[in-house]
Amino acid sequence: MLIEQGSFHANIVESRDVFIDRIRIFPDGFLILEIGNVIAGYICSELWEHSEDIPAGNFRLNHTITDVHSNEGTQLYISSLGILQEHRQKGYGKKLFLELEKKLIAEYNISSTLLVVSVKWDAARNIYEKHGFQEIQRIKGFFYEDDRSDAIVMRKQL
């Protein structure tokens, strides 16, 4: 939880109970990054049924995984990714992301990956675009940091 709290504005940090449910329901979708003896990051995901028109409510912060997750889902949703400040900009986020995709694509029948990014997070959005993600929809006022900013839902076809 310290990584989550250090990675996001206090208004968009998800709860401990949400993380516990995600790990309990879909342990394959949760990876940690260990550097030396320090847990330095994590990536958390869910499997969703494929849909071209995804209800905005599916993405809401602190959503209950049981409302959207399906072990037969073919769409991998990255629900959260966090790296300790001192380990950022070293490629660890990309490594976590690629390792998760590799593991789950091989084990599950994944056809696409989804994620949500704030319109304000230009660097993150640019990285995702360089790795094949495309904007598929926007959610008005999704992120509440200092103001309400829109979310961009991005998808990468595999």
pLDDT digits (tens, 9 = 90+) for 132-148: 999 999 999 998 766 78
Cα separation, 44 vs 48, in Å, equals: 13
Percent of all residues in the chain with a pLDDT value above 90, rounded to a whole number: 78
Among residues 77, 93, 91, 113, the alpha carbon closest in space to that of 7 is found at 93
User: What local confidence, expressed as pLDDT, does residue 145 receive?
Assistant: 66
Pairing of strands 38-48, 148-157: unpaired
Q: Give every CB contact of residue 63 below 8 A, 6+ residues apart in sequence.
A: 18, 57
Average pLDDT over residues 83-104: 93
C-alpha to C-alpha distances, 51 to 93, 94, 135, nearest whole angstrom = 26, 25, 15
pLDDT digits (tens, 9 = 90+) for 23-58: 999 999 999 999 999 999 999 999 999 998 899 999
User: What local confidence, expressed as pLDDT, does residue 3 receive?
Assistant: 95
| Domains of the chain with CATH codes | 15-29+45-79+91-157 (3.40.630.30)
Among residues 134, 138, 95, 94, the alpha carbon closest in space to that of 112 is found at 134
Cα separation, 158 vs 155, in Å, equals: 10
